[in-house]
Amino acid sequence: MPVLTTDAESETGIPKSLSNEPPSETMEEIEHTCPQPRLTLTAPAPFADETSCQCQAPHEKLTIAQARLGTPVDRPVRVYADGIFDLFHSGHARALMQAKTLFPNSYLLVGVCSDDLTHKFKGFTVMNEAERYEALRHCRYVDEVIRDAPWTLTPEFLEKHKIDFVAHDDIPYSSAGSDDVYKHIKEAGMFVPTQRTEGISTSDIITRIVRDYDVYARRNLQRGYTAKELNVSFINEKKYRFQNQVDKMKEKVKNVEERSKEFVNRVEEKSHDLIQKWEEKSREFIGNFLELFGPDGAWKQMFQERSSRMLQALSPKQSPVSSPTRSRSPSRSPSPTFSWLPSKTSPPSSPKAASASISSMSEGDEDEK
């Protein structure tokens, strides 16, 4: 693809955007050999000095509108983001993600300042420069890492790495005697703003550690670090260890309380179950009792049937009114008949009458014999 080489530069030395007028320079047919964005994440991002852009084709100046349309098609848009990246966190990753996704085909270069430069202009870091370099290399959005990046971007640095745009949050960054170190980048039309992630920053993390210093000192003592490694005095070491023992006892008491609560809850659950079962059995027993012994129960009917049977068994059967006379057996003598009741005849009025009645009774006896 033909590219344009121009010598037009701004007052700061940064090439200006192309105008709509035809260029006065000659057009050269030179193929771009710029590194392409990473397609696999099986290896960390390379350092710039290991895979620097050796492309000999001049890079035409792009506008943001052109870059968002996906042009040029023969090379990626080279976006640069720099920082300290101490205690690499999600806020850093989000900023790099925004820089990577600014344009359809972006190649993200990340510059990391050295320890000397950072300590001079910003302050001490928790991680050294080698650790910060490695943290950036293993971020998925980074295509290339530039070690010992400059604090203020120069035209020579931009030209060396063939940077098209610089990505950073839009808040003026005052440092190194300047109100905004990105002011000249913004004036050249090469600045693309990103959004900061609220609630997370390296300073916030350090503030948490300093605020809860005793907690983290006790934590590391418990994990096996020595008081010398933590720069803790002898008295504080004993105090922290005593506090750790107290915390252990509190944790044991808490565990016992939780277990006792669980036991009580289980007993209550079982008691509720037992009460429910007892109520069900009680209702069942009462229902069965009423069914047997209630006013219309089966027991009453059975008792009435049995009592009627017993009464029938105990009461004799009535003999018939006219029964046939039994024939007397000739071999058996008739049973004598006794008159148990006295006769209702009137007494004899005279001794002769008495003797006559006695004689008649004796005659009757002889007749029966």
Same domain, 172 and 216: no
Angle at 124 between CA 120 and CA 128, to 5 degrees: 105
Q: 75: domain CATH number? A: 3.40.50.620
Tell me if 148 is assigned to some domain. yes
Same domain, 300 and 253: yes
Q: What is the pLDDT of residue 140?
A: 94
Tell me if 149 is assigned to some domain. yes
Tell me if 327 is assigned to some domain. no
Angle at 114 between CA 116 and CA 155, to 5 degrees: 110
Host domain of residue 130 = 64-199
Tell me if 131 is assigned to some domain. yes
Same domain, 193 and 224: no
Q: Which helix (H) or strand (E) covers residue 80, if one does?
A: strand 77-83
In 3D space, the residue among 154, 145, 162, 165 whose CA is nearest the CA of residue 56 turns out to be 162
Task: Count the residues in the chain.
Answer: 369
Q: What is the pLDDT of residue 265?
A: 84
Same domain, 178 and 108: yes
Scanning the structure block, which residue is given the tokens 């009741």? 341
Q: Rounded CA gap, 199 and 166, in Å? A: 24
Same domain, 167 and 143: yes
Cβ 179 vs Cβ 172: under 8 Å? yes
Same domain, 166 and 216: no
- pTM of this structure: 0.60
Same domain, 231 and 138: no
Same domain, 123 and 194: yes
Tell me if 102 is assigned to some domain. yes
Tell me if 345 is assigned to some domain. no
Tell me if 114 is assigned to some domain. yes
Residue 186 has pLDDT above 80, yes or no: yes
The residue out of 159, 182, 199 marking a domain boundary is 199
Q: What is the pLDDT of residue 157?
A: 95
Which long-range contacts does 58-63 make (Cβ < 8 Å, 24+ apart)?
A: 58/3, 58/4, 58/5, 58/28, 58/30, 59/3, 59/162, 59/164, 60/3, 60/4, 60/18, 61/6, 61/15, 61/16, 61/17, 61/18, 62/17, 62/164, 62/165, 63/17, 63/18, 63/189
Same domain, 279 and 256: yes
Residue 62 has pLDDT above 60, yes or no: yes
Per residue in 263-316, pLDDT (tens digit) is: 888 888 888 888 888 888 888 888 777 777 777 767 667 777 777 878 788 776
Tell me if 46 is assigned to some domain. no
Please tell me whether residue 191 adopts helix, strand or coil conformation.
Answer: strand
Per residue in 3-49, pLDDT (tens digit) is: 333 344 455 556 554 334 444 444 456 666 677 788 767 889 989 88
Q: Rounded CA gap, 92 and 81, in Å? A: 11
- How many domains is the chain built from? 2
